[in-house]
Amino acid sequence: MPPNVVAYIYGLVRDLYDQHKDPRVSHYPLIGNLWSVMAIIGVYLAFVLHFGPKWMEHRRPFELKFVMQLYNVIQVVANTVVFIYGMCYTIFNPGYSFLCQPVEHENTTPQMMRLIYASYGYYMLKYLDLLDTVFIVLRKKNSQVSFLHVYHHAGMIFGVSIFMTFLAGSHCSMLGLVNLLVHAVMYAYYFASSHGAVKHLLWWKRHITKLQLLQFGYLTLHFLLVLLRNPCNFPVFIAFIGFSQNIFMFAMFFDFYYKTYMRKARKSEANTKSALS
State yes or no: pLDDT of 2 exceeds 80. no
Q: What is the pLDDT of residue 257?
A: 86
Q: Which of 179-188, 223-232, 237-246, 256-265 has the lowest mean pLDDT?
A: 256-265
Q: Among candidates 190, 183, 199, which has minimal Cα distance to 69?
A: 190
Q: Which of 8-12, 30-34, 88-92, 177-181 has the lowest mean pLDDT?
A: 8-12
The arithmetic mean of pLDDT across residues 48-60, rounded, is: 94
Q: What is the pLDDT of residue 261?
A: 82
Which amino acid, one-letter code, is at 184?
Answer: A
Q: What is the pLDDT of residue 267?
A: 60
The verdict on whether 153 is a catalytic residue reads no
Catalytic residue among 58, 149, 152, 200: 152
Let me know if 259 is exposed, middle or buried by CB neighbors in 10 A (0-12, 13-18, 19+).
Answer: exposed
Q: Across 2-16, 136-150, 248-262, which has the greatest mean pLDDT?
A: 136-150
User: What is the per-residue pLDDT across 12-22, written as a single tens digit (0 to 9) for each?
Assistant: 778 778 888 99
Q: Among candidates 152, 157, 82, which has minimal Cα distance to 115?
A: 82
Buried b or exposed e, range 58-83, using 16+ CB within 10 angstroms: eeeeeebeeebeebbeebbebbbebb
Q: Rounded to whole angstroms, what are the CA distances from 206 to 106, 186, 212?
A: 44, 11, 10
Q: Rounded to whole angstroms, what are the CA distances from 223 to 46, 69, 99, 100, 109?
A: 33, 36, 9, 9, 25
State yes or no: pLDDT of 188 exceeds 70. yes
Compute the residue count for the chain. 277
Which amino acid, one-letter code, is at 38?
Answer: M
**Domains of the chain, residue spans:** 34-276
The arithmetic mean of pLDDT across residues 147-151, rounded, is: 89
State yes or no: pLDDT of 204 exceeds 80. no
Tell me the residue ranges of DSSP E strands in 13-163.
none
Q: Rounded to whole angstroms, what are the CA distances from 196 to 36, 192, 205?
A: 40, 7, 14
Q: What is the pLDDT of residue 55?
A: 95
Q: Among candidates 243, 25, 216, which has minimal Cα distance to 234?
A: 243
Q: By percentage, how much of the chain surpasses pLDDT 90?
A: 68
Confidence of residue 265 (pLDDT cuts 50, 70, 90): low
